[in-house]
Every structure is written in structure tokens, then in C-alpha cells.
């Protein structure tokens, strides 16, 4: 018998609001070899002094989206796809802010996840 590799894709979405500012949200851990791409879409403009979003891994702070300004309309796709390793297996989104004046804003963080899957043939 031999093994044929194929991929199973899924999408995970999380809406982050101004209430998450200064905190992190975990998308969970993924098996080694999983490929992940990220998209951030601004649903409602943030109104704080400085608001950005980072999306990356748990151990090194490897960023798929780095300090994206969520005070302006639009969105951003990650420039690269990340391949999950044994030690970098959790994807985290973090909203940062300067000052405590954020009272509005929401973004959708979407993960495009491709799991490695094998089939005996």
C-alpha cells in the first residue's frame, strides 16, 4: 500500500470588537503541517487613539498580519501562508491600543486552514 496526500480545507472566523482591545483571542491549536492564511476585514472603524491588529503564532510572535491599522476602512490578507510546526501551533489575534479611549470598532479575522490528510491507496 502507498499513501496519497490530499488536503481538506476549512475556514474559521472570529469577530473582534473594541471590547477585545488590549487582549488576545485564540483560534486554537492546529496539527503540524497545517497551512494557514489570514484575512482581516474592518467591519466598523475603531475610534481610539491608536488601534491595530496582529495575527500570529504562540511562541515566536511570528506574524501573518502585523500592526494593521483598524482605524481606516478596508482589509488585509496575509502576505504568506504559515505552515504549523510542533512548537508554533496556536494562532492568536491581538488588538492593541494606545490609551483607553476606544469605544467603537469591530473586525472580522478569517483563517483559511488547509489540513494535511493522507489516504491509503
**So where are the chain's domains?**
3-120
CA 64-110-87 angle, 5° bins = 45
Residue 35 has pLDDT above 90, yes or no: yes
Q: In this structure, what are the phi and psi dihedrals at residue 20, rounded to the nearest 5 degrees? A: -85, -5
For the stretch 72-116, pLDDT in tens is 888 999 888 899 999 899 999 998 888 778 888 999 999 999 998
CA 111-116-121 angle, 5° bins = 150
pLDDT tier for residue 4 given thresholds of 50, 70 and 90? low
CATH superfamily of 3-120: Nucleoplasmin core domain (2.60.120.340)
Q: Which is more confidently placed, 63 or 1?
A: 63
Find out whether 40 and 22 touch, Cβ atoms under 8 Å.
no
Give the count of alpha carbons within 13 A of 114, CB side only. Answer: 10
pTM: 0.85
Amino acid at each position: 500500500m502507498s499513501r496519497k496526500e490530499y488536503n481538506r480545507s476549512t475556514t474559521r472566523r472570529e469577530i473582534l470588537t473594541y471590547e477585545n482591545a488590549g487582549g488576545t483571542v485564540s483560534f486554537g491549536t492546529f496539527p503540524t503541517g497545517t497551512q494557514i492564511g489570514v484575512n482581516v476585514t474592518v467591519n466598523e472603524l475603531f475610534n481610539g487613539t491608536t488601534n491595530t491588529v496582529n495575527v500570529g503564532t504562540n511562541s515566536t510572535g511570528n506574524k501573518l498580519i502585523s500592526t494593521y491599522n483598524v482605524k481606516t476602512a478596508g482589509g488585509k490578507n496575509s502576505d504568506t501562508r504559515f505552515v504549523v510546526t510542533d512548537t508554533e501551533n496556536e494562532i492568536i489575534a491581538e488588538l492593541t491600543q494606545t490609551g483607553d479611549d476606544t469605544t467603537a470598532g469591530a473586525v472580522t479575522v478569517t483563517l483559511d486552514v488547509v489540513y494535511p490528510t493522507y489516504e491509503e491507496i
